[in-house]
Amino acid sequence: MRFLSTTPTDGITERDFVHDGVPGVLWTPGHPAPLVLGAHGGGQHKRAPRTLAQAARCVAAGLAVVTLDSPGHGDRPRSPQDDRFITEIRARTAAGQDATTLLDEYCAVLAAQAVPEWRSALDDLLDLPDIDSDTGTRFWGMSMGAAIGIPLAAAEPRVRAAVFGLVGASPNLVPAAAQVTVPLRFLLQWDDQLVARDAGLALFDAFGSRQKTLHANPGGHGEVPESELDSAVRFLAG
Amino acid sequence: MRFLSTTPTDGITERDFVHDGVPGVLWTPGHPAPLVLGAHGGGQHKRAPRTLAQAARCVAAGLAVVTLDSPGHGDRPRSPQDDRFITEIRARTAAGQDATTLLDEYCAVLAAQAVPEWRSALDDLLDLPDIDSDTGTRFWGMSMGAAIGIPLAAAEPRVRAAVFGLVGASPNLVPAAAQVTVPLRFLLQWDDQLVARDAGLALFDAFGSRQKTLHANPGGHGEVPESELDSAVRFLAG
């Protein structure tokens, strides 16, 4: 892990880094803190406004946050496969067709690459003196971020709590969800134009966790209420 | 409203009262506080353990709580109609038959009587010096308590926030839910043996409130997690 820059502001340290070619950002409060892995949504990047806002909420609550550019996103190059998926998803959406299956397939392709990247970054991050590695790592991710986080939490025992959301049951995600057993919160938007209500509920049902809570609110995919985002931070910090 | 006894303990005042023949209890903290109307569940009463525990949580959060014995419950006499419903519900349940429709009908009968009782008690309670009538009254009720609270919140503009739960869409409740427009939280148990999952989700869908949140947790009808009960108090106090 190679740190590129360090910017301390109001007691918060922001560090850009590259790990095995993957660019990321780490925010830490002024003391050793539990680490939140924050994964951005599809078409977004490590400093997308919603990712930054949720990271700021977490750091204000005394947590450290790390985010990575997902494969084909942010400062990372797009592969010919990325281009094919994106072109086809855009074409179907523009034609008013359902692109859900194709989006699920693309997310599964990205997750297969991203999960080992997150695990490898975690190896290095937990050695940093300002990360409290004893209290367990937590995961935050909505939409594509959840489609990466669910197989990550299924594979990675150091993830001990998670907030997922805005994603539905797909043939790839259901078996991974069944292997997730950590306490989790699952957020759905009741009028999500990208995630069918039944698919979201079916994924909540599929999680193996004994301690899992569904929070559903009215509104579309990008309209998770502020109060819900605040509440999720309390859950991650708890 | 006739107060029968006053018991101050650790800064909390507990008062038994009778209002138009309806027995109730009022708990107030040591200062003027917003009022929570807390309705007990079916077969329970104003001092049932869960009702007491949730009242204690609310008072600890600085709220006042009032609870009433519902018609045919607690210290109130059962009518011949109550007896007929209860006998038939028990018989169907014992025979392994579905008693949902009959339970819904009985709840509707009780609510028709209980709603004017709550409204009349509210008239007097809001005049008490230790009730802060400006910040609006809130309602808490699960199961039969929700079946009473939903038509109450539909009819009573002084109820300005509510936590309902453990009840499903019935022909009586859906039109009332559509008339409820206050901020609300709706609790469901994912494995509720008395409320079908789809019926609970359909009732959440029916509420007219723009600001409504569904919280669903694994477990049966009586197994709402402690963390959810605590969180509901923060919502009522917020």
Residue A214 has its nearest CB partner, among B210, B214, B225, at B214
Task: Band the pLDDT of B67: cuts 50, 70, 90.
Answer: very high
Residue B3 CB coordination number (10 Å): 12
Residue in chain A closest to B234 (alpha carbons) equals: A231
| Dist. CA A232–CA A138, nearest whole Å | 11
A181 touches chain B (CB under 8 A): no
Amino acid at A37: L
Residue B216 has its nearest CB partner, among A214, A217, A218, at A214
Instruction: List CB contacts (< 8 A) between B235 and chain A.
Output: none
Do the chains contact at A204 and B217, CB–CB below 8 Å? no
- Above 90 in pLDDT, residue B8? no
- Above 90 in pLDDT, residue B112? yes
Please give the average per-residue pLDDT across B25-54, as a whole number. 95
* pLDDT score of A100: 92
Q: What does pLDDT average to over chain A?
A: 96
CATH code of the domain containing B12: 3.40.50.1820
Of the CA atoms within 13 Å of residue A48, those in its CB half-sphere come to 21
* pLDDT score of A24: 98
* pLDDT score of B101: 93
The token pair that represents A90 in the structure block: 């855009």
Residue in chain A closest to B216 (alpha carbons) equals: A214
Is-contact B46 B25, C-beta < 8 A?
yes
Residue A213 has its nearest CB partner, among B211, B212, B217, at B217
- Above 90 in pLDDT, residue B30? no
A73 touches chain B (CB under 8 A): no
Q: What are the residues whose beta carbons fall under 8 Å from the beta carbon of A113, sequence distance 6 or more?
A: A71
* pLDDT score of A3: 95
A118 touches chain B (CB under 8 A): no
Q: List the beta bridge partners of residue B25.
A: B16, B67
Do the chains contact at B213 and A212, CB–CB below 8 Å? no
Q: Calculate how close chain A gets to B187, using CA atoms only, in Å.
A: 10
pLDDT (tens place) for every residue of chain A, 238 residues total: 999 988 888 889 999 999 999 999 999 998 999 999 999 999 999 999 999 999 999 999 999 999 999 999 999 999 999 999 999 999 999 999 999 999 999 999 999 999 999 999 999 999 999 999 999 999 999 999 999 999 999 999 999 999 999 999 999 999 999 999 999 999 999 999 999 999 999 999 999 999 999 999 999 999 999 999 999 999 999 8
- Above 90 in pLDDT, residue B9? no
* pLDDT score of A227: 95
A215 touches chain B (CB under 8 A): yes
Task: Band the pLDDT of B5: cuts 50, 70, 90.
Answer: confident
User: Quick one: CA torsion of A221, A223, A229, A235, rounded to 10 degrees?
Assistant: -40
Q: What are the residues whose beta carbons fall under 8 Å from the beta carbon of B109, sequence distance 6 or more?
A: B81, B85
Domain span at residue A155?
Answer: 2-237
**ipTM of the complex model:** 0.90
Tracing tokens 């599809």 back to the chain, one arrives at A42
- Above 90 in pLDDT, residue B171? yes
Structural domain total, chain B: 1
Do the chains contact at A212 and B217, CB–CB below 8 Å? yes
Q: Return the SS3 of A47.
A: coil
Tracing tokens 């009985």 back to the chain, one arrives at B106
* pLDDT score of B232: 97
Residue B213 has its nearest CB partner, among A204, A211, A215, at A215
Q: Calculate how close chain A gets to B95, using CA atoms only, in Å.
A: 30
Residue A18 CB coordination number (10 Å): 14
Residue A93 CB coordination number (10 Å): 14
* pLDDT score of B192: 97
Q: Calculate how close chain A gets to B218, using CA atoms only, in Å.
A: 7
B217 touches chain A (CB under 8 A): yes
The string of pLDDT tens digits covering residues B187-228 is 999 999 999 999 999 999 999 999 999 999 999 999 999 999
- Above 90 in pLDDT, residue B173? yes
* pLDDT score of B7: 87
Q: How many CB pairs under 8 A join A and B?
A: 39
Instruction: Please spell the DSSP secondary structure of B108-137, one letter per residue.
Output: HHHHHHHHHHHHHHHHHHTTSTTB--SS-E
Instruction: List CB contacts (< 8 A) between B231 and chain A.
Output: 231
Percent of chain B, pLDDT > 90?
95
